[in-house]
Structures are given as structure tokens and as C-alpha cells.
Amino acid sequence: MLKYFGADANFSLEGQVAIVTGGANGIGKATTTLFLQKGVKVVIGDYKSDVYDVAKEFGENCLGVQIDVTKDSDRKNLVKQTLDKFGKIDILVNCAGMVALDSAVDVKDEDWDALLAVNVMGTFKMNQEVGRYMIENKINGSIVNIASQAGTIALDKHVAYSVTKAGVISMTKILAFEWGKFGIRVNSVSPTVVLTEMGHKAWDGPAGDAFKKEIPSGRFAETDEIAGPIAFLCSGAAGMITGHDLLVDGGYTIK
């Protein structure tokens, strides 16, 4: 006879409150859409000014806050507005990020600085801000950080970007190790090329066509194909998963 330990086979997220950075577009917007469909109240933090219009379109269970994740005051304001509006935080999804690609001999110092500030420190500081709240308030929360397949394998002209995403993966494991005793799960998701606005800009054309031939599935990912795994990791069905980097790459990294 099977014994069950509380895993939620319905993957329910009903009644939870989530912060999604970078939630006004791309993977973040797809995640926000899915969360709302599953009964989650969502606060979108995004650097774009249209975050307010995006949140308004989603309805009363969504709040938009303009934020620069590199600024301490913005991060604190995002948490405060979430608590003021919805009273708690159960989930944090860090989708905010940036990319700059160049060869290792040509990569610019300012690109390194910007990538490290947003992808590494911005992600860490959001983890720290929300993690501190969860610990102090005994919240059994879930955090998902968006990394990349570039954090696991070597890709041409990706040195600075790849280093930052490898940092996110390492960060995720350490936070999971430290915060597991508080009931907080921390995981990362590492997509292949995703057909966001940035994905189309970088990979439409011959280079993208050639890259897709190296992926066993033969294509790039759609944003909802990343949102689904994020929602799974935040659900009770993933209650024993923490410190894991989930590659959503159509099999590219199995080579």
C-alpha cells in the first residue's frame, strides 16, 4: 500500500501570493498569467513603465510596481507594496535579467558590471529581502530563480552572461541548503532560447535556424513552456524538490 506524505497531485496554488520580477513581459508575464489562472494573487515588479498597464489588464488580483532590482529602496518598496495589498508573500519568482553577448577578448567592462548587477546581485538581493520576510514570519515559501542553459554549458560569445547564470545556479543551491530548515524551497529553471522579444531579436534568421538543429526537440521554447515548470516547482507537488536546477532546453544539454 502506498503511503502519501502530503504531495499535492492537483498542483494547486490557490490563495497564495507571488512576487514576479520581470513580470510585465516574456517568461515573467507568462508566469503571471498562469499564476492568476491558478488562483494566485500576483505583484509584478518590472523596470518598464508599462508594468502598471499590464497589471491593470490582469485585473484586481494583480498589482504592478515599477522597480530596478539593483536598487535597495525599490526592492524594499516592492515587498512593502505586496504586503500592503495582499498581506503576505508565499512565492518569489526572479525573472528580471539582462543579456549582453560578445567574444571573450572583446567583452566590455560595462557589460560585465551591468550583468553582474542585475543577474547576480539583483537576484540575490530579491532572494535576501523576501527570504528574510519568510523566515521572520515562518512562511513555508517557494523561490524560483531564472537561470539559463548558458549557466551549465559553453556557448559562443556568452562568457559574461554565462558566468552570471552559473552564479544564479550556485546561489540557488546555497540558499536552498541554508533555508531548508525554515521550510523555504529554492530552485532555479534554466531555459534554452525562449521566443520572447529578446529571443526573437537574438535568434531569428540563419543563426537561430542552425542552433535549432542542435536541439533534439528541433525548436526553441515558448514562454508558457517555462511558466509551467515554474508553477510546478512552486506547488505542493514539488514539496521535496529544493536546490535543483531544472533544465528546460528541449534536450540541448544532454549532448
Q: Which residues are catalytic?
A: 161
114, 98 in Cβ contact below 8 A? Answer: yes
Q: Which amino acid is residue 11, in one-letter code?
A: F
| DSSP-derived 3-state class of residue 115 | helix
Q: Are 61 and 42 in contact (CB under 8 A)?
A: yes
Q: What are the residue ranges of helices labelled H in 87-204?
A: 109-115, 123-136, 159-179, 197-203
Sorted by sequence, the CB contacts under 8 Å of residue 67 that are 6+ apart come out as 21, 45, 46, 47, 74, 75, 77, 78, 96
The whole-angstrom separation of Cα 139 and Cα 107 is: 42
Residue 30 and residue 226 in contact, taking contact as beta carbons nearer than 8 Å:
yes
Question: At 156, is the secondary structure helix, strand, or coil?
Answer: coil
Count of other CB atoms within 10 angstroms of residue 138: 9
Rounded Cα distance between 75 and 131, Å, is: 12
| Cβ atoms 245, 187 nearer than 8 A | yes
